[in-house]
Chain A
Amino acid sequence: MKKVIMGNHALSYGAMLSRAQVIAAYPITPQTQVVELLSEMCADGTLNAKFIKVESEHSAMAACLGASLAGARTFTATSAQGLALMHEMLHWAAGGRMPVVMGNINRAMAPGWSIWTDQNDSLSERDTGWIQFYCSSNQEVLDTVIQAFKVSEKLMIPSMIILDAFALSHTYEVVEIPEQDKVDRFLPPFNPPWRLTPDDPHAFGGLTSPDHYMELRYKLQKDMEKVPALVEETGKEYEQLFGRYLGQVEEYLCADAELVFVTSGTAGYTARVAVDELREKGIKAGNFRIKLFRPFPFEKVRAVLSGVPRVAVLDRNISYGHHGIFYQEVKSALYGQPRSPLIFGFIAGLGGRDITRDSFKEIADYALKKDRAGEEIVWIGVKK
């Protein structure tokens, strides 16, 4: 069934079709409609789940963790300051191997007080051990929630589904809502290898001496390394059932390109239109959209970008004192590789400033003119 829905509701439908059993959340602009709809679904019986109202995001995640440990499929959603308040609990989720799935609406961190989009909120949680998917359409949001539960529960690692404030969260698009019985075939009930139950007592999160702690971290990393292959495998399985492939990255006209944009989020779709327009003018541009950011898709980045003459990485974020974060990661993936491209870094769209087709033309103008790529940060659309 096709429906015109907002990005926030794509998250809600994804959680509903995944048969989430426990939802605990605290409202925050621009995430509010995600949990509004889920609470309605819980109230009218559309979704057979326990909806837990809490007094803060820290408690929301804590409630999700308790439920997840008890063996419930668990979902929540937040944004910006709310995500930051969860920070401690995010480490608990990943370190404790609790496969919660969470929607995060990318909203700029305050101050200055903002409700508009950028990626610094979710990228500040880069090293907490969560899988991160950056989405570009409402369809992709819905489909990825379902896929994320499958990936997360198989490896016992939590997932964050990330979408831009307003540009996706409040934008209505046509979305194919999958049939429940097909989703059930793709995603069987959550059956964790261990759970919190009096019938089979275990201790969780206890004191871990130097003799053991490092092995827990080694295992988390080893399982993280399995995510890219599992995303490919589940993405193909999803395609067989629903006709939509869900990969780690999306390549658009990269094969013969002289310049490839590296993008994410909604800008990763606008870039495709800019590529078409540049090609009409005879410039062989391409777009490489990173969807899976953690773990980083090293193999895909190397396979596609090695040998491309010029790469322009667009960041809607900044690591102050260094550079855009995707830029750093792309460079690290290509370091020491044969036929490494010239890699340029651009910062745009902070705090909801629009990223347009013209932004990409400005980027192309710069990247095609320079013969060397240094550490210079190129700011797009900033008033200096």
Chain B
Amino acid sequence: MIEIRFHGRGGQGTVVASKILADALAKEGNYVQAYPEFGVERRGAPVFAFIRIDSKPIFDKSKIYNPDHVVVVDPTLVEAIDVTEGLKDGGYIIINSNNPPEHFKFPSRFKVFTIDATEIAVKHRLGTLAAPIVNTAITGAVIKILNLTRLESLAEAIREGISIRPEDNVRAAIEAYEKA
């Protein structure tokens, strides 16, 4: 079983990112469980989303406390909260940032990856310049770095799950996949 925690801010599509990823993984016969932080969300406030992935049915319905990996959709959260809380040794930290991984000072038991999903989202005109929607680009990077699923499955999941300009979102995911 793989458990991943997503960190974002309300309005960035973090929960949708976890849902798209779940859709893509289910297409390849995986069992998945994706859920948002249980509660109320506010635009701009830190939000969480979680996903469990397994080759067999998932019975554990409790929350994820010790994720295998974390994905940070909004890089300002690295300063604001401890994104490594509960993260297992050897865990990957995938950050949306235009900085190289070395820029982030995390304990060496974690491995840091960065992807400039914001730049990709802006290039494909997803969301607005002030508030680009980076979630589809992030999923492209995540499936590559964690070797989770085929790009075709992700593209299909985006086409089915995103009703506004799905093809631009697919292109963003592909570009992030290639750059990651």
- At the interface, yes or no: B62 with Cβ under 8 Å from chain A? yes
Encoded as 1 (CB less than 8 Å from any B CB) or 0, chain A from 90 to 121 comes to: 00000000000000000000000001100000
Of B27-35, B77-85, B139-147, B162-170, the one contacting chain A is B27-35
Q: Tell me the bound Cα distance from A90 to B109 in angstroms.
A: 57
B22–A357 contact, CB under 8 A? Answer: no
- Selected from A116, A136, A171, the residue in CB contact (under 8 A) with B39 is A116
A58-66, A296-304, A348-356 - the one binding chain B: A348-356
Provide the residues of chain A in CB contact with B40, threshold 8 Å. Answer: 115
- B63 and A354 within 8 A (CB): yes
Flag if A273 contacts B38 (CB, 8 Å).
Answer: no
- Contact check, B38 vs A352: say whether CB atoms are below 8 A apart: yes
The stretch among A187-195, A233-241, A263-271 that forms the contact with chain B is A263-271
Query: Chain B residues with Cβ under 8 A from A269's Cβ?
Result: 59-61
A113 to B31, CA, bound (A): 34
1/0 per residue B22-62: CB within 8 Å of A? 11001000011111101110000000000000000011111
> Please, how many angstroms separate the alpha-carbon atoms of A164 and B35 in the complex?
13
Judging by beta carbons under 8 Å apart, are B26 and A167 in contact? no
Q: Which of A173, A174, A270 contacts B62, CB < 8 Å?
A: A270
Nearest Cβ distance between residue A324 and chain B, in whole angstroms?
Answer: 19
Q: Are B60 and A170 in contact (CB under 8 A)?
A: no
- B19 close to chain A: CB less than 8 A: yes
- Using a Cβ–Cβ cut-off of 8 Å, how many residues does chain B contribute to the interface with A? 20
Asked if B32 contacts A174 (CB within 8 A), the reply is yes
How far is A350 from B65 in the complex, measured between Cα atoms in Å? 19
Give Cα A173 to B51, complex, Å: 10
Q: A51 in the interface, Cβ–Cβ < 8 Å?
A: no
Distance in angstroms between the alpha carbons of A164 and B33 in the assembled complex = 15
Smallest distance from the beta carbon of A326 to chain B beta carbons, Å? 17
Indicate the member of A2, A172, A269, A273 with the most B CB atoms within 10 Å: A172
Q: A115-B40, A174-B26 are in contact. Are A270 and B60 (CB under 8 A)?
A: yes
Contact yes or no, A136 B61, CB < 8 A: yes
Within 8 Å by CB of B38, from A166, A174, A356, A357, lies: A166
List residues 150-181 of chain A with CB under 8 A from any CB of chain B.
164-168, 170-174
CA distance A323 to B32 in the complex (A): 36
The verdict on A172 contacting B61 (CB below 8 Å), with A115-B39, A115-B40, A116-B38 known, is no
Does any Cβ of B come within 8 Å of A272's Cβ?
A: yes
> Contacts of A171 on B, CB cut-off 8 Å?
33-35, 61
Q: A115-B39, A115-B40, A174-B26 are in contact. Are A4 and B61 (CB under 8 A)?
A: no
B60 cross-chain contacts in A, Cβ below 8 A:
269-270, 273, 357
Q: Which residues of B contact A270 (CB under 8 A)?
A: 59-62
Chain A positions 259-308 with a Cβ under 8 Å from a chain B Cβ: 266-267, 269-270, 272-273
Q: How far is the CA of A136 from the CA of B60 in the complex (A)?
A: 10
Which partner residue on chain A sits nearest B51 by CB separation?
A172
Q: Are B39 and A267 in contact (CB under 8 A)?
A: no
Closest 4 A-B residue pairs measured CB to CB?
A: A266-B61, A166-B38, A171-B35, A356-B62
Residues of chain B at the chain A interface (Cβ within 8 Å): 19, 22-23, 26, 31-36, 38-40, 58-63, 65
A-B contacts, 5 of them at CB < 8 A, read: A115-B39, A171-B35, A172-B35, A173-B31, A354-B62
